[in-house]
Structure 1
């Protein structure tokens, strides 16, 4: 038994272990001492260990008290019994200790509620107990110019530890209710969004990745953990008092108003006193572990002050200057900081100029190094034109180095008398519709920042904005919009485009209808296109699979609506294994695509062949 205790406590050094021994749960060594202090039970020396015990049927009750006191509790259960060993009839089996293992581990987030509690269930306030997992990635650090002006040590110069702006991912889960919440956001140096998320959801446990987080994030987490009190030995009594006070406030509403006014008066009184020592003492009462360190530092500071005074008295006598006093002198890092303050504005202006020069040099290098890039021609008249001849997606073209990239041409034109134009692009899934839309956006943006563009010829007007709604990624809304459904996210984006687009804007929309029924998607798509083209009068490139949507737009917009499809070839073979074979040509031509070829897309995405075969058979029956 003692060997089992030593082995399991070695494997779980941070866990308080309760060992099942017959009808008692026994605790050993330091675990017994800690449990005795929290539970108010007796611990006594027995053989090699200090021991304490509680009844088996009260295990969960005592485990909850230990968890609320700040311990992680493990329950070690017997994996066999004397009766089971007797049935095996193995020689000497009954003389060996029973096998045991850690079967359950309880923490503040995983400890279950007590069943059959005598508490008034109508008055119990249920609250979520989240486990939070937090990760971060550096987005922006202090610039080299700023860091070089400071005499920072090597640890602080590490970008991850000294990062100001980071991208934070947070996932919270309640194992009791199955509820999960998650978010991803960029946060500044004060980590206000992270602080707000922690304060709003109040996780009881936090899981952090291996390695070092940034100093600012660690500070926020340390402060949050410090405010979570572990002194809950009297939690049941406190909850009982809260329930009584809630009943009193319900019966006497005026009492709540008076108490609120009283609390405000108390806060004002303490603020006016401006007592730093009282504030420190209050913090130390919340963090008893820091009190001893604070006393040591206070004593050391007093000793240094006394020694300085002795030296000052000696210097006054030697120099015969009774009025001699110390003067504060700061060098090193402080001198660098003062120097930085003086030249900061000029220095950051230089950084901006160098950044602009670097960007211009890069654009010039592209113009000189890529002969298939051309200088765009801007049209200065009342009409709005976008003409791209043999345009290419610059990033995909680079990735396909050594392969022949298939270029496409786009032409959109409108005038003051006939504003607005629409190009509807259809075609198979993975046929290149999204790349075509992004090519249009990149060509316009590159042209308007002064760059050569990847095309044979480009003529365009000056656009005041490029508004896009592309394929939805797995990005997550902030916590305050965590309940916003996917359909509402898309409609919110469309609403923003409708409010901000003008007749000199370029709008690129890749599908409408995420999370909607087919007929609803058709209605929304037609209405949105009609508004942008007829009312706003802007240029729109719209990719869709809905043939009926395209036909309705043609009927209502007439010559303002162009219909193009990305060319493909369908192999209609007799062999079952060769069915639904589609070759994508990626060429833009007139017409409307007849099918989206989703099964072929699923095949390219790696869906199992037997699933695809089942889909083919169902397609003919549905």
Structure 2
């Protein structure tokens, strides 16, 4: 035989015109068999494919091989999803499997779906299809060696889907010689023999791969067997027919199973356990339905689906949670059924297969949280269905004859998944690890239903399950929904609850899907944000958005809590929310009812916090993006952002708080100074190496888990393992020791640090002492060794607090003693005084009596459990009885231990407020230390703050660019800036492209943000007042989702700035007017800058390439100045023809100097970009012509009149003027766009 092919390629990439070599095989004998009907009480044994995956690249030897025995022409091509045996003779076309034995002794099997596959291996190709023994505590298959399956994930390149009929049992395929093929044999119970004639073998080179469905493929290897006499086809046609036939058959199995399951879930009648005669049912399947008469046979079969007990459990639970992907525990695996299996196949990349009525997929139990996290991150709601009884307890229960009881115990979504450990091994900023993962509900108050209002009132409540925070706010928003975007940017929700969608007819005749209770603009803003940021959306019932019902829901919820002072305080805090916010809170609590104990966070009044953006420096979404505060604009990662430069925190709690600080700098002058004072003191202590700093540094460097998330697990009693609990409590213990020691040293003098450590504060000192005592008492209650191994049965140092545990342990000890005494009797009986029990933990076997195989005096009532070639292992009737009792008591002990553990967590959770306050202290200390470490950077200075508005920075530097250049060995050119309300308030910045204009204006904004955080800044000196907001209009972008062009977005954002800026606002405008024609762009830029200078009188950095704007300096010489980025010109030699004057070479100096630039030198940039020389020459000539033309056009009388009209219209757009109707403002904005265009 020829050697196997060493590579395979996808059918989409390979041609079916491969080289074919026909050969002839020998005569063979065919054996036909039928399977017996399986017991409906047990789950079928699904075919298990264990494939040895290759770790080497595809260039190594690879040869997926599949033998397909061609069926006879009269054999039926479609496979029913379920076969039943019949006492009648089976016709040839109904034969489920055919086994062919060649002269070489190999078995070749042909079924209606006879497609297998092999994965790559370094040395050889192997496919093992194994039977599994039943595990005692499972409805499912069992691995006899006791080892968990390897992860069944297959890569897309290697993956395949195995579709198997439910009546086919699977044996282990025998591997032949290297030149032989791997065959798959199917067990049979009755046989008939037929003979086939010589078969043609067509070799296909190379192997062909065909995909069908999502991530599903069939690999056809080098040989396809066709019976003699098969009609002649071309090579392409033969291969294509074989492939399509296999695909159609397998697809039919999948679709039939899906259709039957879907009908049941949609309410189709279930099949009767005592249904009609099997023979009649078989006839019904075979008999085609008459055209136009009643239901087809397929429909009748689907309507009479007979489920196994496990399938029925799945169907019942799925009806309760139809939008949830269910992971069903079956012994050592978690299984997916039906559509959930397709989701698992798509997201987890694991293979699926048909068993009975459903498509199936499974994962090992040890990989539960790994795959659970992947499904949740993909946006699915996932439910874990667990076996809540074991074999030992089931044996003595009333339902011992039925399936294991299962129920949904846990639900997860992106906002409620707190059980997983944080993975911070990557370099990108994963905000899901440090952000609170808010779950948000919105409510919009508006009386306008038919048209979109430029302004509206929006309310929201956001709950963080991981930190316990409940954030609320109500605000008036503008046409851009900019305030909504800003809050979404600050909160970064991972899941949003919204009312149902409905279709709305627009004035232009188009249909739009919007959320009920929401305007179109609000709906589109939320949709766009969710789409861009992969936010999960859950639609809620519209009836939940009733205000009266919402108040009733909240009060009913609090009635379920324990009635104490803390609960009453929390209820008062909840009812002080306005009516719209209560609606949002009611929607959230309704949704969270199914998620463990998450609603219990409402019991803590301190969890309620207002989103007071007015108390902080306003940074709209556009500002956060343009200034790259959280992530780099190009790479979308932390590196290259302000957060990357400033963050030196060492705890997860500190990172969360620092993220809040950088998005919400302070505007209270006294608070900023207090923070500066503490940061400066910490920096000096670091330099002087005082004892307190050494203690703080040592603590922060220790391994500190995510205390906020772990405390939430304790509070919710949600999957808090003893090991995690011990780690958390030990961290709390070290924190309490740190607070006490630093307080006792009394080395800090600043107000913030003294309050943090309780220095000279008796009340604070008592609170820290109370915290220390609580932690020490808790740690003494548990055994640290047992907690480290997650053993709940023996974790208590004082077991008398749980008497039932003591009682159950006594029963276990009694049985163990009996078995030990019984061993003495067995020794005498077999004559082996040194005989000891053998235990096999991996096989869940114990108290085995091991004897040599040659031992002949084994009593007849002894049960042989297993054996090797030399040894046999037995259980006596006495051992069997006592081992059964032992298992029952152990299971009872496990249940009692879990109950005791939850009770213990509940008692610890009663002090949630105390523990949470200490985490706040830790986070504050970590952030202050981070700013102190940043202040030690070379060239950083602490700003001097004053009450007078303005900024004076000497030799300031861009913090992000400086750090990036520093890593590459470069340095940043510093620049100074001085703005004040009494003198220069606006800078018009011109200069050559790539000269550093944008970097300069960003530098100034970032220094302001850092200063108002209380941080050191990169400059020689910095004196500034406090700004209330930073607005930016930079770059060019459109908004396709809102149907807005680049220029219209530019007008909208400019309108917002002009409407909201105050004399204490810093406005950054970079190339305003670039979105339209040159003369119209100049008009917009000119009129906007005039309005800023004349009316708003805010601080402004205006970057432009329009030289004509420099004329404004002449109009307001005291308030406006022209600046440009300095450069050097190096004249070039002109060509011989003299008609073309070559552009001078420009050398950038990156320094801001007084005066307006005469040229932008864009053509010089074109030269740097290596544009063709003829293009550059032509552009130079055209540039000179346009300069003269534009100058004439801008300053003619018509243009002056147009300037005045535009200025007046922009003034009238102010949303602060209550006399202007908001609909009129919207119409004027559209009119302005038409005027300019």
In the superposition, the TM-score normalised over structure 1's length comes to 0.49
Q: Which has the larger radius of gyration?
A: 2
Q: Which has the higher contact order (CA 8 A, sep 6+)?
A: 1
